[in-house]
């Protein structure tokens, strides 16, 4: 369809998925939602709910299943027709995914990764291993650098091996392989559990039951989910690095020191991302008498790095990435001096290293933020509440489609 004398446009979009309740009350009404946003618009605009676009919702289908349909729109031969209000003519446009959806649990599902409980506990590389390996000279040093990248082919081989072990009924071996490799695929887990049950039935029938025992057996494309799932500033930096800084500082305070800091910054417990974002920039001016010099250096390094991560525009990518690498190294060096074991026990310190390559690949880290997409859940919830609840997915889609028409006319 491309061409035909009409202008062609490529739109880079950011897909995102979340599990959310269709109610605002405490009663949970489970839905899995897919939203997208346009990476071509000004990055500051990505923080506005107005620019979030609803795709689909289902109570019975996972995000991976819904993304199968969405990926059909990303085909290189798939073009959409539209009318351009500025050009005042018909155009064609094509959707290209900028990076894969995420908050962190969704990234784990997309990359078939087990999460932080595996020996290889980061989805993008093979760094890690057993405790003894990570505490060795080579293993410990490797935690401060990007490692050998996972590939889709390796993941497929690992999943196939787990399925083969399930056919043998070897549950313990599957757990060992999953923990050692870090691969645990959500979809294949259904079939692995089914195969384990079936294998047990067959073994009982062919090995243990005299009437049925077998005499011969009586002795007995396109997207790389690893490169295309960038580091999230909220989970990795604010709720990771900043939280580590806050804990190592505040956990050593006595009641008097806590009251002093509370007076300065109105500190309280149950801190969330926005609190850590404020504290990482302001705390350094108030804690110089409330912590050790090493911890103060850590706050300085963390604050400098944080200022870089929320830049919405990068004028010179090469200079920016060079400075960013230095700031990340400063944070890791401070942690190595304070607590050398922290990078072994807290994977977020290792994950931080990947910010450089992710920003080089996708642009400023502010576009990785999922906050506005989570806020859009409130819009979805109101559509769900006001539906007739007989065909909620259909009603919600129609309501949000009508809203988009209204926004377009306005």
SS3 per residue for the chain: CCCCCCCEEEEEEEEEEEEEECCCCCCCCEEEEEEEEECCCCHHHHHCHHHEEEEEEECCCCHHHHHHHHHHCCCCCCCEEEEECCCCEEEEEEEEECCCCCCHHHHHHHCCECCCCCCCCCCCECCCCCHHHHCCHHHHHHCCCCCCECCHHHHHHHHHHHHHHHHCCCHHHHHHHHHHHCECCHHHHHHHHHHHHHHHHHHHHHHHCCCCCCHHHCCCCCCCCCCCCCCCHHHHHHHHHHHHHHHHHHCCCCHHHHHHHHHHHCCCCCCCHHHHHHHHHHHHHCCCCCCCHHHHHHHHHHHHHHHHHCCCCCCCHHHHHHHHHHHHHHHHHHHHHHCCCHHHHCHHHHHHHHHHHHHHHHCCHHHHCCHHHHHCHHHHHHHHHCCCCCCHHHHHHHHHHHHHHHHHHC
| Nearest to 14, CA basis, from 36, 45, 33, 34 | 36
pLDDT tens, position by position, for the chain (410 residues)? 555 688 999 999 988 888 888 888 888 888 989 999 999 999 888 889 999 999 999 888 888 888 888 888 888 888 989 999 899 999 999 999 888 766 667 777 778 888 777 778 778 887 888 888 888 898 898 889 888 888 888 889 999 999 999 998 888 999 888 888 888 888 899 999 999 999 888 888 877 777 777 665 555 456 777 788 888 776 787 778 888 888 888 888 888 877 777 776 666 566 777 777 888 888 888 888 888 899 999 989 998 998 888 888 899 999 999 999 999 999 999 999 999 998 898 888 888 888 999 899 888 888 887 778 888 999 999 999 988 888 888 999 999 999 999 998 99
Residue 51 CB contacts under 8 Å (≥ 6 apart), including other chains: 37, 38, 41, 45
Of 43, 154, 19, 20, nearest in space to 98 by CA: 43
* 23 contact partners, CB below 8 Å, separation of at least 6: 29, 381, 384, 385
**Residue where the block lists tokens 């007076």:** 263
Res 220: pLDDT: 47
Contact indicator for 352, 331 with CB cutoff of 8 Å: yes
For tokens 């489609």, name the residue. 401
pTM, whole model, 2 decimals? 0.69
The domain segmentation of the chain, as residue ranges, is 8-102+389-409, 103-225, 230-368
What is the biggest distance separating any 2 CA atoms in the chain, rounded to whole angstroms? 81
């Amino acid at each position: 369809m491309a061409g035909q004398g009409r202008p062609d446009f490529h739109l880079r979009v950011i897909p995102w998925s979340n599990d959310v309740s269709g109610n605002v009350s405490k009663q949970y009404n489970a839905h899995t939602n897919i939203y997208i946003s346009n990476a071509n618009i000004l990055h500051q605009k990505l923080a506005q709910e107005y620019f979030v676009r609803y795709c689909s919702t289902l109570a019975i289908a996972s995000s991976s299943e819904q993304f199968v349909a969405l990926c059909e729109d990303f085909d290189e031969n798939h073009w959409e027709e539209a009318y351009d209000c500025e050009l005042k003519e018909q155009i064609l446009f094509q959707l290209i995914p900028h990076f894969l959806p995420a908050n962190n649990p969704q990234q784990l599902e997309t990359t078939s990764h087990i999460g932080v409980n595996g020996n290889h506990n980061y989805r993008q590389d093979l760094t890690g291993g057993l405790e003894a390996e990570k505490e060795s000279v080579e293993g410990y040093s490797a935690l401060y650098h990007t490692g050998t990248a996972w590939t889709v082919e390796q993941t497929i081989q690992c999943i196939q091996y787990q399925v083969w072990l399930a056919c043998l009924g070897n549950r313990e071996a599957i757990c060992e392989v999953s923990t050692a490799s870090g691969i645990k695929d959500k979809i294949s887990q259904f079939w692995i559990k089914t195969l384990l049950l079936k294998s047990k039935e067959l073994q009982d029938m062919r090995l243990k039951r005299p009437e049925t025992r077998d005499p011969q057996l009586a002795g007995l494309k396109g997207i790389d989910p690893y490169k295309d799932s960038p580091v999230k500033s909220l989970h990795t930096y604010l709720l990771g690095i900043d939280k580590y800084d806050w804990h190592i500082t505040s956990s050593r305070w006595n009641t008097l020191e806590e009251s002093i800091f509370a007076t300065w910054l109105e500190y309280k417990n149950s801190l969330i991302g926005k609190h850590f974002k404020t504290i990482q920039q302001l705390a350094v001016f108030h804690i110089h008498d409330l912590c050790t010099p090493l911890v103060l250096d850590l706050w300085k390094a963390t604050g400098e790095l944080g200022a870089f991560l929320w830049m919405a525009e990068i004028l010179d990518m090469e200079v920016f990435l060079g400075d960013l690498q230095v700031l990340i190294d400063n944070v890791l060096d401070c942690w190595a001096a304070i607590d050398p074991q922290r990078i072994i026990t807290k994977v977020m310190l290792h994950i931080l290293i990947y910010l450089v390559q992710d920003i080089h690949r996708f642009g400023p880290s502010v576009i990785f933020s999922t906050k506005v997409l989570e806020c859009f859940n409130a819009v979805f919830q109101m559509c769900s509440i006001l539906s007739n609840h007989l065909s909620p997915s259909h009603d919600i889609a129609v309501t949000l489609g009508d809203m988009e028409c209204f926004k377009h006319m306005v």
